[in-house]
Amino acid sequence: MTASSLTCRECGSTYPLEAHFVCSRCFGPLEVKYEEHPSAGDPDAIKRRIQAGPQNIWRYADFLPVDRVPVLPAGGPGETPGLEGLPAGVTPLVRADNLAKELGLREVWVKNDAANPTHSFKDRVVAVAAARAKELGFTTLACASTGNLANAVAAAGAALGMPVYVFIPADLEEQKILATGIYGATVVTVRGNYDDVNRLCTEIAGERPDWAFVNVNMRPYYAEGSKTLAYEIAEDLGWQMPDRIVAPIASGSLFTKIGKGFQEWQDLGLLDADASLPIMSGAQAAGCNPVAHAFEQGQDVCRPVKPNTIAKSLAIGNPADGPYAIELARKTSGTIDQVTDDEIRAGIALLARTTGIFTETAGGVTTATLKKLADSGRIGADERVVIVITGEGLKTLDAVRGTFECREIDPNFDQFEATAEHRTEVSV
C-alpha cells in the first residue's frame, strides 16, 4: 500500500498529502487513502517483509503514510543505521488466564501499550505524525493533550531535536505534567477543559505555519499510527483476528483505526477473508460519555458533554470520531458501555491483581467494561477477547490512593506473626 491522497470521510473530496485536516467543501474530517502495493496479490511475500522488519512500528511502514522509514544514516562502513526518533510499538500481548477465570471467560489477552517509550499508545501516533511533519518541512512539534499525548510529543521532540509546545488543561494530573516538562518542552496550561484547549490549538495552527500540531493539522497522519495495534495483535495471534476487542474511546480515533487496521489486512489477504471483523466493544467513563450515550439512545451523532471523571485521558466532551465509533460498533454487532469512577478504580485493581499490569484510569475503564460485559453475559462462551490497555498506572496515582492499607509493625517477629495471617486487603 502507498499513501496517495487525503480523502473526506463525508463527501469523498480528495486533497494532496499535505497538512490538511478538514474538507474545504463540507468541513468533514480527512483520512489517508492508499493505493495497492505491487505485491498486494502475494500475502506470503508481504508477511515475510513484515517479519524481516525492525522490532517497532516501522515493520509496518508499507501501511503507513510516510515516504520513507525514518532512520539515521550509518556512521561508517559496516555500521547499522539507527532509528530516527523513539522505537514505538511491538508491545506485549499477554495471555490473562487469571483475569479470564475470575470473569468466567474462556480466553482473554491484554495488549499492554503501557510498554511504549513514554508508557502509552500515544507514542505510536506521534511517531507517524512526527515523521510526516519532518517530511513536510515543519520545524516545531505541538499538540493539544489530556496528558499522554503531551508526554509522547515532548519526548519525540527531544529525540528528534525539535522544539515542542504542548497545551493541556490546567487541572491535569501532576504526574503527566512532570513527565512532559522534563523533556524540555514548553508546557502551556489552559484554564478550561480539553475541548477548550483543542479549539485554541486549532486557532494557533492557523497562525503558525511552521508548527506541526500532531492532532490538528497533522491529524490524518497521526491517526494512522493506531492501526499498528491491530497489526500487532493479528501478527501475535498467528495472523488471526480475535473474536472481540475491548478498547477505550476518547475522541474515537483509536477505536476506529483498530477496526481499519484489521480490515486493511483482511482486504490484502493477510487475514482470513471469510472471518468476521472482531466485535468492537468501546469503553467510556460515565463522567464523559457522549459516544456511549448516543449509542445507547440509538443516535448517530454525539451530543457534547462537560467532562467530570477521574479518567482524564478520556475526557473529551466533543469527540471528533464519535459518530464513526458508533458506526463501527454497530457494524460489528459490538457495544459501547460506560462505567462509573468507582468501577474504574475497581477495574484498575482487578487488572493489577490478576495480571500484574498496573494501568492508568483509561485502562480501568476498559477493564471495568470487560467485567460489565462478562457479568451481563454479553461475551460468548467461546470468544477470544483482547483488551487494549493504553497507559501506565504510574501516570494516575491519585486514582488508587486509599485503595489499600499497609500494616506497620516494630522489627519484632512476634508482631509479624500476629499480622502474617492478615493479607493486605484491596478495597474495590
Read off the pLDDT of residues 31-46 as tens digits, 9 standing for 90 and up: 999 987 655 679 999 9
Residues 108 and 157 in one domain: no
Split at pLDDT 50, 70, 90, the class of 428 is very low
Domain presence at residue 329 = yes
Give the CATH number for residue 395: 3.40.50.1100
* Mean pLDDT for the chain overall: 94
pLDDT surpassing 90 at residue 331: yes
Q: Which residues contact 155 (CB under 8 A, 6 or more apart)?
A: 86, 117, 118, 123, 183
| 132 within some domain | yes
Co-location of 108 and 252 in the same domain: yes
Residues 330 and 391 in one domain: yes
Instruction: Tell me what pLDDT residue 424 has.
Output: 43
- 422 lies in some domain: no
Which set of grid coordinates corresponds to residue 403? 485503595
Q: Please say if the pLDDT value at position 138 is more than 80.
A: yes
Range of the domain at 287: 93-117+244-256+281-400
280, 258 contact by CB (below 8 A): yes
187 lies in a domain?
A: yes
Is 357 found in the same domain as 334? yes
Instruction: Note whether 25 and 141 are same-domain residues.
Output: no
The pLDDT of 276-294, averaged and rounded, is 98
**Cα separations in angstroms, 213 against 53, 126, 144, 164, 236:** 29, 10, 8, 10, 32
- The answer to whether the Cα torsion of 381, 387, 393, 399 is positive or negative is negative
**Is position 58 within any domain?**
no
Any domain includes 111: yes
- Residue 234 domain flag: no
**Are 216 and 361 part of one and the same domain?**
no
Q: How confident is the model at residue 328 (pLDDT cuts 50, 70, 90)?
A: very high
Q: What is the DSSP string of 96-157?
A: -HHHHHHHT-SEEEEEEGGGSTTSBTHHHHHHHHHHHHHHTT--EEEEE-SSHHHHHHHHHH
Task: Tell me what pLDDT residue 418 has.
Answer: 86
What proportion of the chain, given as a percentage, has pLDDT over 90? 89
Q: Are residues 104 and 160 in the same domain?
A: no
| Domain co-membership, 150 together with 216 | yes
pLDDT, tens digit (0-9, with 9 covering 90-100), for 207-265: 999 999 999 999 999 999 999 999 999 999 999 999 999 999 999 999 999 999 999 99
Burial class of residue 11 in the structure, from the number of CB atoms within 10 Å of its CB (0-12 exposed, 13-18 middle, 19+ buried): exposed
In a domain, 248, yes or no: yes
Whether residue 374 is predicted with pLDDT greater than 80 in this model: the reply is yes
pLDDT of residue 39: 57
Structural domains of the chain, count = 3
What are residue 107's DSSP bridge partners?
384
Burial class (CB in 10 A: 0-12, 13-18, 19+), 356: exposed
175 and 296 both lie in a single domain: no
Claim to verify: residue 295 and residue 396 sit in the same structural domain: yes
Q: Are 320 and 253 in contact (CB under 8 A)?
A: yes
- Compute the distance between CA of residue 235 and CA of residue 243 in angstroms, rounded to an integer: 15
185 and 104 assigned to the same domain: no
Instruction: Say whether both 305 and 174 belong to one domain.
Output: no
Residue 425 has pLDDT above 50, yes or no: no
426 pLDDT more than 80: no
